[in-house]
Amino acid sequence: MVRAQTVVAVLATGALLGAGGAFAANKVLVRGGNVVDGSLTGRDVKNGSIQQVDLSSALRAKIARIGTGSTGSGAQGAAGPQGPPGPQGPAGISAAASSRLTAQKALGTAATELVAQDSATGGYTGMATIEVAGTEMSPVTVTCTLTIGANSATGSATVAGGQKVTIPVVGAGVLDTPGKITLSCTSNAATGANASGATLVATRIQNVTTDGY
């Protein structure tokens, strides 16, 4: 609809005046009632000529609300089904084994094996403790050796009759092929000491540095 007070300049073709062929132009006031409903289209409206103030208050309020609504959030959906189990991973490189001396052994000048562990190829660290009891009045020196591959570590102590000592030994080495990790002891005398107990814990690890052994 056209606003009631819109003035449109209408050129009315008049009768030719005189021999000069001039015509008269009159201004005609067009009101809303003079416009047939549906006769005006977008082509009849100048682009940019309609401002927001020309709109109804209800329409302006509706435009203002566009894009200002709050963000909604729906309820959390149900948990999905559990997926199938993945393939089993490779065996870890680290493993530990513990061995103990199960019977008392007499120690002499020849090496006496106390504990031996069958072990796979790889690098190892070993920790051992040996309990030694003296059997003679004269003190004797006992030396115990932990052997891992080409490397060995030793610990020693002196014990007299009626005494008990504990000898610790810590070592590391590499087995290039499957083999044994062994713990053995000797004495500087043919008699005079017994190994009453021993424990060996060997741990397989990925990298071993054996500098100093």
Residue-by-residue DSSP string for 34-69:
GSPTT---GGGS-TT---GGGS-HHHHHHHHHTT-P
Give the pLDDT of residue 194: 96
CA distance 130 to 168: 6
Q: Which residues contact 136 (CB under 8 A, 6 or more apart)?
A: 160, 161, 189, 191, 192, 193
Average of per-residue pLDDT across 86-113: 86
CA distance 180 to 115: 10
Q: Which amino acid is residue 104, in one-letter code? A: Q
> Over the stretch 171-195, which tens digit does the pLDDT of each residue have?
999 999 999 999 999 999 999 999 9
Could you tell me where in the chain the CATH 2.60.120.1340 domains are found? 95-205
> Over the stretch 14-52, which tens digit does the pLDDT of each residue have?
444 444 444 444 555 666 666 676 676 767 767 777 777
Selected residue with higher pLDDT from 136 and 4: 136
Average pLDDT, the chain: 80
What CATH number is given for 95-205 in this structure? 2.60.120.1340
Which sign does the torsion angle of CA 132, 135, 140, 144 carry? negative
What is the percent of the chain with per-residue pLDDT over 70, rounded to a whole number? 72
Give the residue among 177, 156, 183 at the shortest CA–CA distance from 168. 156
Provide the strand spans (E) within the chain.
7-8, 28-29, 95-100, 105-107, 112-119, 122-134, 140-148, 151-159, 164-175, 179-187, 193-205
> Over the stretch 66-80, which tens digit does the pLDDT of each residue have?
756 566 678 888 988
